[in-house]
């Protein structure tokens, strides 16, 4: 997934937060990337709850509108006593972002016209005529201002962004998922995983594959699982923050309990990151070959050259041991709102094909501490955070995956030592993978006496 970044300076961002309270801004729409059209705006911003617009011009102004109501193209006049227009002038001499003006509307008047056009606040109509410009009508809609003070009499836009406004300060009275945060629970989970044996005698270890956008944290998650079982921070899988996938090979990683210790009965497989464009990132059909066990370890993935049966590293005949037994979708919690429709469509295609193969699926929300200050302050707040619960529900609905299959985790990224609470979330995820792998095994037909089956067929090989 291509990274879409905000154009707000640190000072501008801080001024907007001063207007909105203890909230987080999530970028939904960036016109230079998604288009200066009403259609593109509504595709990204409809039914997103409270939002704020940031329009930029060459005169050094950032200005826009806030509403606590949904855009829905209902055709109605929407009243919103929390709506306001604002302007930040960045050309105010030394100190830069110093000038902030706010225009409050009349509460009894219409805040905006909920039409299929660009955002229409009467006094300001953004994306006017599906172009990079704003129409100014001071006084309409109850908003009064001087155009020179609002945008310097410059109606042409150099950028147009819309952010969802999300509150961060709420904790649930009771966690929406009960987690025991004790050292005893950590040891219990570790023992359960190490003593795991697959339901099928011919399979020694369960195999789970990590699938997600570039930068979602797949390799970092494996490194964290590996670190936990090794007893110290390790970095076996290459991880990074590049805009392109750092992982270019299909890798199958064996985990050991301690240096030179027993092998953990869970193999984690890492893949190239998914990207929006069809010609970039991991190919969906290549992923299906991986699920079926046709792709050997260290196969060099290439988006422009899909895997074919004659390729070196392609395994024609496979057994249950070669296949993937659980698919793990990995999503950066900080970027849930930035998942484009193309990316969601790609996930939907993968999920449909995976369902057809009968492979269980779970979803990991990574970087929860970066997404929610309450979780950063105390990781035990992770399942009490209203914000994280809302993100989990959003992903559950977008992916069509039950909430029971959505797990929140934090990986080791900056730490030099292991931490009990981090381990408990990681171990809970690993245990879930093994439980779902057992569900997969129970649905397979396996011959007796150590014979294995060709996966997804009724033929038996010896």
CATH number of the domain within which 292 lies = 3.40.50.300
Whether residue 257 sits in one domain with residue 115: no
Q: Are residues 157 and 244 in the same domain?
A: no
Asked if 132 and 160 count as a contact pair (C-beta separation under 8 A), the reply is: yes
For residue 306, CA distances in Å to 251, 284, 299, 302 come to 17, 9, 12, 7
**Residue at 4 is within a domain:** no
Q: What is the pLDDT of residue 169?
A: 64
Boundary (domain end) residue, out of 167, 196, 231: 167
Does some domain include residue 172? no
Angle at the Cα of 440 (from 439 to 445), degrees rounded to 5?
115
> Which phi-psi region, left, alpha or beta, contains residue 428 (left: φ > 0; alpha: ψ -120 to 50)?
alpha
- Residue 177 placed within a domain: no
Cα–Cα separations (whole angstroms), residue 84 to 80, 298, 437:
9, 55, 52
**All residues at 6 or more sequence positions from 372 whose CB lies less than 8 Å from its CB, including other chains:** 168, 333, 381, 382, 385, 387, 388
Question: Do 84 and 107 form a contact (C-beta atoms < 8 A)?
Answer: no
Reading the block at residue 217, the tokens are 């944290």
pLDDT of residue 453: 43
- pLDDT in the model for residue 301: 67
Q: Does residue 173 belong to any structural domain of this protein? A: no
∠ Cα 434 440 441 (to 5°):
90
Final residue before a domain boundary, out of 125, 140, 167: 167
Cα 23 versus chain centre, distance = 19
Domain that holds residue 305: 183-461
Is residue 382 located within the same domain as residue 258?
Answer: yes
Bridge partners (DSSP) listed for residue 263: 256
Contact indicator for 325, 207 with CB cutoff of 8 Å: yes
Q: Show which of 118, 134, 167 is a domain's final residue.
A: 167
pLDDT of residue 166: 85
φ, ψ of residue 357 in degrees (nearest 5): -80, -10
**C-alpha closest to that of 153 among 54, 53, 30, 58:** 58
For residues 255 and 342, state if they share a domain. yes
Whether residue 247 lies inside any domain: the answer is: yes
Instruction: Indicate whether 196 and 161 sit together in one domain.
Output: no
Please report whether residue 5 resides in a domain: no
**Domain check: are 203 and 75 in the same one?**
no
Residues 200 and 107 both lie in one domain: no
Residues 228 and 126 in one domain: no
Q: Would 175 be classed as within a structural domain?
A: no
Per-residue pLDDT of the chain (462 residues; tens, 9 = 90+): 456 899 999 889 988 988 887 788 999 999 999 999 999 999 999 999 999 999 999 999 999 999 999 999 999 999 998 899 999 987 644 444 566 788 777 666 789 999 999 999 999 999 999 999 999 998 887 888 999 999 999 999 999 999 999 876 678 889 999 999 999 999 999 999 999 999 888 899 999 999 998 888 898 999 999 999 999 888 765 555 444 445 577 888 889 888 878 899 999 998 888 877 666 667 777 888 888 888 877 777 666 666 767 777 677 788 888 899 999 999 999 888 778 788 888 899 999 999 999 999 999 999 999 888 889 989 999 999 988 998 899 899 989 999 999 999 999 988 889 999 999 999 999 999 999 999 999 887 544 334 444 454 433 332
Based on the domain organization, do 40 and 120 belong to the same domain?
yes
Is 3 within the bounds of a domain? no
Buried b (16+ CB within 10 A) or exposed e, 41-58: bbebbeebebbbbbbbbe
- 324 and 200 inside one domain: yes
Q: Based on the domain organization, do 53 and 189 belong to the same domain? A: no
Total number of domains constituting the chain:
2
Q: How far apart are CA 229 and CA 172, in angstroms?
A: 32
- Distance CA(225)–CA(235), nearest Å, equals 10
In the prediction, which pLDDT does 296 show?
79
Find residue 206's DSSP bridge partners.
266
Radius of gyration of the chain (CA): 25
Same domain, 213 and 299: yes
Burial (Cβ within 10 Å: 0-12, 13-18, ≥19) of residue 457: exposed
The model's pTM: 0.65
């Amino acid at each position: 997934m291509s990274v879409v970044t905000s154009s707000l300076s640190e000072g501008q961002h801080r001024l907007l937060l001063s207007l909105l309270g203890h909230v987080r801004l999530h970028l939904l729409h960036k016109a230079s990337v998604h288009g200066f059209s009403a259609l593109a705006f509504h595709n990204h911003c409809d039914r997103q709850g409270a939002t704020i617009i940031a329009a930029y011009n060459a005169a050094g102004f950032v200005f826009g509108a806030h509403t606590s109501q949904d855009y829905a193209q209902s055709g109605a006049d929407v009243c919103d006593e929390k709506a306001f227009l604002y302007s930040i002038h960045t050309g105010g001499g030394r100190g830069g972002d110093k000038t902030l003006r706010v225009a409050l509307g009349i509460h009894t008047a219409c805040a905006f016209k909920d039409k299929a056009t660009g955002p229409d606040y009467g006094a300001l109509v953004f994306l006017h005529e599906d172009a990079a410009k704003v129409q100014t009508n001071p006084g309409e809609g109850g908003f009064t201002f001087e155009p020179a003070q609002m945008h310097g009499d410059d109606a042409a836009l150099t950028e147009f962004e819309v952010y969802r406004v999300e509150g961060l300060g709420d904790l649930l009275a009771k966690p929406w998922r009960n987690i025991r945060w004790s050292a005893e629970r950590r040891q219990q989970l570790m023992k359960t995983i190490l003593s795991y044996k697959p339901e099928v005698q011919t399979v020694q270890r369960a195999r789970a594959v990590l699938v997600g956008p570039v930068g979602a944290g797949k390799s970092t998650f494996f490194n964290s699982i590996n670190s936990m079982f090794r007893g110290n921070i390790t970095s076996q899988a290459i991880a990074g923050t590049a805009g392109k996938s750092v992982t270019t090979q299909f890798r199958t990683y064996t985990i050991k309990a301690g240096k030179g210790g027993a092998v953990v009965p869970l193999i984690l497989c890492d893949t190239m990151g998914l990207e929006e464009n069809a010609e970039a990132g991991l190919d969906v059909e290549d992923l299906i070959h991986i699920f079926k066990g046709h792709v050997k370890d260290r196969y060099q993935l290439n988006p422009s050259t899909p895997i074919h049966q004659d390729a070196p590293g392609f395994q024609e005949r496979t057994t249950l041991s070669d296949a993937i037994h659980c698919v793990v979708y990995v999503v950066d919690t900080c970027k849930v709102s930035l998942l484009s429709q193309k990316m969601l469509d790609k996930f939907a295609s993968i999920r449909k094909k995976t369902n057809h193969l009968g492979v269980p699926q779970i979803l990991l929300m990574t970087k929860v501490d970066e997404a929610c200050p309450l979780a950063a302050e105390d990781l035990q707040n992770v399942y009490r955070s209203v914000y994280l619960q809302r993100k989990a529900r959003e992903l559950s609905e977008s992916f069509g995956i039950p909430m029971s299959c959505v797990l929140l985790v934090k990986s080791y990224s900056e730490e030099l030592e292991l931490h009990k609470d981090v381990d408990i979330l990681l171990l809970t995820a690993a245990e879930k993978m093994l439980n779902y792998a057992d569900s997969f095994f129970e649905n397979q037909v396996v011959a007796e006496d150590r014979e294995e089956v060709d996966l997804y067929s009724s033929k038996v090989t010896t």
